A = this chain, B = another copy of it.
């Protein structure tokens, strides 16, 4: 019995030494940038992420096919609706959201590519220890490879590379992340959205960065 306990302790100890796939904190606020290999899409966004109530708010601007765009969306996955807001004109579009909520996490079947320090471990505040994971996802258009980097402490997202044969690489870099919701109200539809009628979906679902995770 003693030997068994010792074996279990050692196993757990060994497992603990190797980085494990992890889930990011359920409440996060921060910024991200997205760019594609083709330079077709370049975007910068502020995000609010609430995995507890399955809500995401993205305020983004960028360029797609050399045209600039601005997008302010609130994705409420539990209700299955998406609000596209324009604060300047105080207008609001309410659309059905059929996509599943994908939490920010490393899939359990991801493979550890490696653990490195970004910056340096030689002095305080000079670096951060991160783990990079890779794997493959089955998408409608075929298999897609991903490479996700998160911090060892806290499982904070750092970057995600997503590769499909059709589109090449797409890189999402996260930064200025804080644990918690800096302004929870950003995840509640604004007053001018109250009267918005649910539009029938005629066009395709918008591409959300998070649908890729």
Residues of A within 8 A of B (CB): 30-31, 37, 39, 116-130, 151-154, 156, 158, 168, 175-180
Contact = CB atoms under 8 A, between A and B. Distances in A.
Contacts of A179: 120, 122-123
Given A116-B176, A118-B158, A120-B179, 16 more contacts: A30-B120, A31-B116, A119-B128, A119-B130, A119-B151, A120-B154, A122-B177, A122-B178, A122-B180, A123-B153, A123-B179, A124-B153, A125-B128, A125-B152, A126-B151, A127-B128
Chain A facing B: main interface SS: strand
A30 B154 CA distance: 24
A152 B126 CA distance: 7
16 contacts: A30-B120, A117-B177, A119-B130, A119-B154, A119-B158, A120-B179, A121-B178, A123-B153, A125-B128, A125-B129, A125-B152, A125-B154, A126-B128, A126-B154, A127-B151, A127-B177
